[in-house]
Amino acid sequence: MIIDEPRIKPGVFLSCENSTVSFKNGPFEVSFEARDKVPGELPNPGTSSVNLRSWLYSVLGTDSPEAIAGFIQKLVAQGVIIESAPLDAFDGEYVGYRLVDYYRILINRLLVKNPLMHTLQNGAHKNVQIGVLLETYYMIRNADWTAPAVLGHWLPEQQRKLLQEFFEEESGHGELLADGFASVGLDPDAVRKGVPQPETLSYNLCFYTAANLSPAHFAASIIVPEVPQSPRASVHDNSESDILSLLTDIPDDLIRCARSHEEIDDDEDHGNLPVELLAVEGALSRDRIASLFEIVHQTTVSLDWLFRGVERHYSDWDQEVGVGWANEAMGWPT
């Protein structure tokens, strides 16, 4: 990935304390240690590309263009540096990082307003906490059902390999959770036969729709479930958005089952998969990029409504009715 004219993203602010330089990007803060004393005036979004490169040379204590290019790429990945050259098309890898940055800002804004988060933070009823895990199960058990749609496109060998590995790794993840529901009084077989609430089904369909459009659109859609909400280099751990940590009435064994899915995704570096898939696409036109941003927006909003549905439905949920509550209401077969 080559950045012709790097600039600091609008809205990002720099600060310096001793030799630590910090970039404040919305709710995130990314820091690095300067080689020597930080020189002079800090750059800002209006600083020219030439002056920004010169400042980085001084801060990093190197005259290697390769070292500066590599560091700029890391800052692009953290969402604080953008390409300011007036290009007609942009590198797919760069677009992937911009989509990730957009998602992180968007999801954190949405969660601040989401009633489920407020309910959980204020000590939700146990039924709501169970509902979070049930609908999580209904999400992840279908993680590989979009495979035929996206793999049905013509794909470069590297892209096909990445996707096949992803679907193989996701297959069966629902079973990591299913048997654990016995610890909260639910029959695991009834859970397996249950139907997700409509908002969860709608969320799952976002990935199927994107998969039918193109591999690039599918890559954009899976940013929402796969990419961590905070950059790895962030000093802001964003723990208030860690839903599992708010399920205080759920047995530890069931929480560990839910965590195991996250740990597998982390071990397999699924958070970087969307960028890897988009990097294979090469140059992307502005119109295509706009459609990818729309996919991220729609999928994130669908997740927001899924959370709202959990809060609304499970607040009044009667466990004795069973987990397949939608079957009878919607007239669906069991």
Query: For the chain, give me the number of helices (H) and strands (E)?
Result: 16, 7
What the block records as the tokens of 266 is 């982390």
Which of the residue ranges 26-35, 188-197, 234-243, 275-284 has the most confident prediction, judged by mean pLDDT? 275-284
Q: Are strands 20-25 and 12-17 parallel, antiparallel or unpaired?
A: antiparallel
Q: Which residue matches tokens 């459609």?
A: 291
Confidence of residue 20 (pLDDT cuts 50, 70, 90): confident
Greater confidence (288 vs 317) lies with 288
Task: Give the mean model confidence (pLDDT) for residues 312-322.
Answer: 69
Under a CB-based contact definition with an 8 Å cutoff, are residues 146 and 218 in contact?
yes
**Distance (Å, rounded) from C-alpha 180 to C-alpha 157?**
38
Chain segment 72-90, per-residue pLDDT in tens:
999 999 999 999 999 999 9
CB atoms within 10 A of CB 200: 26
Under a CB-based contact definition with an 8 Å cutoff, are residues 160 and 152 in contact?
no
What the block records as the tokens of 14 is 């720099």
**Distance (Å, rounded) from C-alpha 35 to C-alpha 152?**
50
What the block records as the tokens of 315 is 């607040």
Task: Give the mean model confidence (pLDDT) for residues 168-175.
Answer: 80
Under a CB-based contact definition with an 8 Å cutoff, are residues 306 and 200 in contact?
yes
Give all strands of the β-sheet with 12-17 in edge-to-edge order. Answer: 12-17, 20-25, 28-33
Chain segment 270-283, per-residue pLDDT in tens:
889 999 999 999 99
pLDDT at 259: 82
Measuring CA to CA, which residue among 12, 50, 55 is closest to residue 35? Answer: 55
Chain segment 204-249, per-residue pLDDT in tens:
999 999 999 999 999 999 999 999 887 764 443 443 347 888 888 8
Under a CB-based contact definition with an 8 Å cutoff, are residues 16 and 39 in contact?
no
Q: Under the phi-then-psi rule, with left for phi > 0, alpha for psi from -120 to 50, and beta for the rest, what region is 310?
A: alpha
**Exposed, middle or buried: residue 113 (CB in 10 Å: 0-12, 13-18, 19+)?**
exposed
User: What are the residues facing 17 on neighbouring strands?
Assistant: 20
Question: What is the DSSP code string of 58-77?
Answer: HHHT---HHHHHHHHHHHHH
pTM: 0.87
Q: Which residue matches tokens 């990082």?
A: 97
Task: Give the mean model confidence (pLDDT) for residues 143-153.
Answer: 89
CA distances, 157 to each of 129, 271, 277 (Å): 42, 21, 11
